[in-house]
Every structure is written in C-alpha cells, then in structure tokens.
Amino acid sequence: MREMGRERCTALAAIPSFLSPSVSVVTKVTPPNDLGHCSPLPPLAMRDKGIVPAHCFSIFIRRREMKKMYTVFAATAFCSCLAAGLALPDKANAGPSIDFGDDGGYLQLDVKFQGMLDHTNFGSGADGQASRWDADLRRARLVFTGMFDDTWGAKFQTCAGTSATRNFGGGGYELSKNNSKTNSQIRLTDGYLIGMFNDQLNIKAGLTKIPLTRANLDECFAPLSHERSSFVYSPYGTDATKNSRDMGVVATGAFIDNHLKYFAGIMEGREGAATFYNPFQDKTYTTSAEPSSNLEYVARLHYSFLDPETSASAGGYKGTYLGKKGKVLTLGVAGAYEKDAAYKNTSPAGAMGTDNFFLPAITGDETVDYSAWTADLFFEYPFANGGVLTATALYLDVDFDDAYKTARAPGDLGTIVGGATGQRDGYYVKLGYVLPLTVGSKGKVQPFARYEDWNVANLLNVDDQGVQQWGLGANYFVRGDDKIRFTLEYYRTEYDKPTNLADYIDFLTPTVGTTTSYDTVAAMFMVSF
C-alpha cells in the first residue's frame, strides 16, 4: 500500500484461527436479547415467590451464559485485531489497524500528542514586563484512516489544545491576560476522500493541507526544531482549518522514478469575514468581507536530485528523516493566486474606545489580488559512522499590493493584509546533526540551529516591521525514530521597530512601544503511534 495508506497487515495470518475471527463474524452475531422472549432478569424476590415462570427463568440463565460467551468472543476478536496492528513495529507511521473485506480494506487509528512548556522574559506583573511560564498541550490528535481497497478511502483527524497563548499574532510566543482556554475545543483538522489511481495521479478532496510552503507540508510531529515558523502559513484564517488547511481538491503525482513530484490544488480560498479573539484586550476583531467569491489556485513542484524524498502518493514531508530516506537533495518551488481577495480601503467602523472600533467599514470598491510564491531546499546525508546531517531553507513572498497602507480596519491588519500571515517576505534556514552515538538502548540526539528574517507589512500594529529570530536546541529521539521525542530550544526574537508586546495591539490607548527583543526557552515532548 502506498504512503497515503499503509503497508498491508500480514500479522493476522500468524494468529491462530480461534483467536482471530473476522470482523464480519463479530459485527453480525445475533444480539443476546433477541434469543428469547424474556426481559432482563427480574428481581430475586419475584423468582422466590414463583411470580416468574420456571421455563422463562431457565431461558434467562441460558441467555446469560450465551451473553458471557459473546462478550468474551467479541473482546477476543477486538484484542486480536489490535494485537495484529501493534505487532508491526517496522510499519512506518502506523498505529493499530483492522483488516476487512476481500479487497485489502483496512481501518487504522493513530494517536498523537505534543506538549509544550515555555519560559519567556515578558508577560507577567503589573506592566507585563516580568517573566512568565506557560504550559499547554499544543496538539492532541486522533487520526482515522480507512481504505476500502487499493484505490478508494477516506481520512479524518481531530485536534485539540489547551491554550491560546501560542501562535497568536506573530513572534512565536504571545501572552494571554486571562486563564480562558480558548483553544480547548476539539475540532476537525483534516477530513478528505482519498483516490489513489496510479503513480501519476492521486487526489484528496475535502479539508486538507494547502500545498504551498514546504514548512506547512512538513509533518506536524516531525519538525527539525521544536515548532514550525510562525510566518509560513496562508492568510484568511486564525487557525489550522483555514491558514494551514482549506476545503478543496489536491492532486499529486510523481515521475522519473519519484524524483519529480507535483502538487496541484483548487481551494475554497477567502470565505466571508473572519473573526479572531485578542486575549490581551478581551476583544473580538472582525475583518472586512471578501469582495467576491473566487477560488484559490495552488501549484507546487519539487525535484529530488539524489534519492527520492517521497513516494508518488505521499501528501507531505518531514523536517528530518534521521537518515532513513538515504541521501536526499530536494529543490521545491510553489505559487498561489486568488483574484479580488481583499478590499483595498477599509477603516474602523467606530471611534477609538467604542466596540464598533473593532468592526470594519469598507470605504471603497477597489480590490487587491492575493499572490504568493516560495522556494525551498532540503538536504539530508547519512554518514557511515551513524551521523546524519540535515539542512533546510525556505523563502516566501506574499503580496496584497500594499493594501495594508489603506486597509486600516483592525481585523484586516491582524489577519488578512497584515499580521503574521498577511503581506510579508522573508526566509529561514535550519541545520541539524544526528550524533553518531546511542543514548540509552536506542536513543539518538540531534543538536540543531535555526535563523529567520521576515519583513512584515503590519505586525503588532507596527507598519513595515522587521523580525529576526534565531534558536539553538537539541532533539532526543528515545527509540531512534520519531515516535517518542523530547526537545529543548532557546530562541531569541528581535524587532527592527519597538513594539508593545505586553499589550499586543494597543489600539485603545496608543503608546510608543518599548520592546525590541525577548528570549524564550521551550521544552517539548511528542508521542506518535
């Protein structure tokens, strides 16, 4: 089975037949309550008084014994199926699975957790300038993948978290003034139809990743550093269901023995107006509406010069393969476009200090298009001594025709034409090295470093802001793979122009910013099975 699915489960054949009944047998057994005409067991006093007929009581006893048998039978079947899935330690990126049908169908479950602990030198105290600790469950996911046969299937993934203090705005670490867990709801992150026709054409239709930047296509649980960059996502939304994923159809395929790979997507793009909550002010911002309902078109192409990095049906990448893909050198380019994506002229709908200030007023019919292009490079080389060198770089340019200069509604500046996902350009480089030694029975250590430099149209209410970020850290892979991982990273964020981090976007009482940098130590764990 291709990477979009998983390898065929063969462990069931090795289990004795009396321990591995087919799923159809378990699901089609007659319910115990349908075997006779008596209701559930009457009270003991009623039996003692002869109110319950003897034959009915004897039928009930037989039914109770049969119910026990069915319970044991079903439990044995279920555990056998799970054992079959768990007995495949060499199966890549796959959790417990159950095979069904005569056409190679299966249902697979994956469980993934990522926890974070941050310490930064701003964010508490009366003026917000004292240091702060923040702990949260960054991602908690259940992934269900089902394939009816070798061609058709479906996948959906749920996600939850416990904190709103990460990735709100820009800079990689932000502050909430209250204890509201605004990201505590479980939501659907992916949900799509799978069609795997041949090596040259595979499709996903539904809610799926936008195939623009390599960073967005990197597996969430396999980054090189502790987290992706805050500046690599698409505009229009404030969470992963819009700025990382979108509704649409994405086709992928490969040529030249999987060295040449393409992605082509037609996505929903800008949809209506967006709202986002600012925990610094306990206010909700609203963007202007989309000028017209147009689709977004995305195309991506990569070429692997050494060993192929991915298969024909693979939907993305990893930030590090720990040398398991061989010698990899991949160059990628991509672009995205949507016509009439935003209004060029907007303003607050009310005076400063009123609630209407956070609503938009459209002051002209002129519109701007959204366009973006990116180029990226990935290199990984395993050495004979067990060391593995990983290097990656990305450049991204996002353009809204300088609409941030005239589209001054606070919501538009925060998440459409401005903000960490609005108009910007910049790059990052990352470097990692797996040390040629083992820590524990199988563990591998991977020190890494990164540097980012971004020019953002409007960030934290500062026009033409420049952001630099550099970090040093190390990953510890407990089993020698990416299933259980611990990461520690120190990083520093610097701004070209002073800003008000402690108050985020201080529209209500404009003041001159004083913060030009801050430091963060991040500890992270990941579990994926």
Kindly state whether residues 309 and 394 are assigned to the same domain: yes
Kindly state whether residues 145 and 70 are assigned to the same domain: no
CATH number for position 139 = 2.40.160.10
pLDDT, tens only, 490-526: 999 999 998 876 554 454 555 556 788 989 999 999 9
pLDDT band at 333 (very low <50, low <70, confident <90, very high): very high
- Residues in the chain, total: 529
Distance CA 238, CA 414 (A): 9
Q: What is the 3-state secondary structure (H, E, C) of 484-499?
A: EEEEEEEEEEEEEEEE
pLDDT of residue 278: 67
pLDDT, tens only, 183-222: 456 789 999 999 999 999 999 999 999 999 999 999 999 9
pLDDT band at 394 (very low <50, low <70, confident <90, very high): very high
Among candidate residues 99, 126, 144, the one where a domain is terminated: 99
Kindly state whether residues 451 and 486 are assigned to the same domain: yes
Kindly state whether residues 85 and 194 are assigned to the same domain: no
Region of 437 please: left (phi>0), alpha (psi -120 to 50) or beta. Answer: beta
Kindly state whether residues 43 and 127 are assigned to the same domain: no
pLDDT of residue 61: 39
Give the sign of the dihedral formed by CA 455, CA 459, CA 464, CA 470. negative
pLDDT of residue 95: 76
Number of domains in the chain: 2
Kindly state whether residues 75 and 107 are assigned to the same domain: no
pLDDT of residue 136: 80
pLDDT value at 267 more than 80: yes
* pLDDT averaged over every residue in the chain: 81
Residue-wise DSSP of 283-306: EEEEPPPPSS---EEEEEEEEESS
pLDDT value at 178 more than 90: no
Distance CA 170, CA 191 (A): 28
Kindly state whether residues 418 and 484 are assigned to the same domain: yes
pLDDT, tens only, 123-163: 677 766 778 888 888 889 999 999 999 999 999 999 887 65
Among candidate residues 76, 99, 122, the one where a domain is terminated: 99
Kindly state whether residues 453 and 345 are assigned to the same domain: yes
Kindly state whether residues 115 and 30 are assigned to the same domain: no
Containing domain of residue 436, as a range? Answer: 101-528
pLDDT, tens only, 46-102: 334 333 444 433 443 344 444 444 444 444 444 444 444 433 333 445 678 899 988
pLDDT, tens only, 364-379: 999 999 999 999 999 9
Kindly state whether residues 521 and 464 are assigned to the same domain: yes
- How many CB atoms within 10 Å of residue 87? 15
Strands, DSSP E only, in 275-387?
275-278, 283-286, 296-304, 328-343, 346-348, 360-362, 367-382
Kindly state whether residues 29 and 162 are assigned to the same domain: no
- What is the average per-residue pLDDT within 113-131? 80
pLDDT value at 380 more than 90: yes
Kindly state whether residues 77 and 135 are assigned to the same domain: no
- Note if the pTM is more than 0.75: yes
Asked if 42 contacts 52 with a C-beta cutoff of 8 angstroms, the reply is: yes
Q: What are phi and psi of 419, to 5 degrees?
A: 80, 180
Among candidate residues 60, 76, 99, the one where a domain is terminated: 99
pLDDT of residue 184: 56
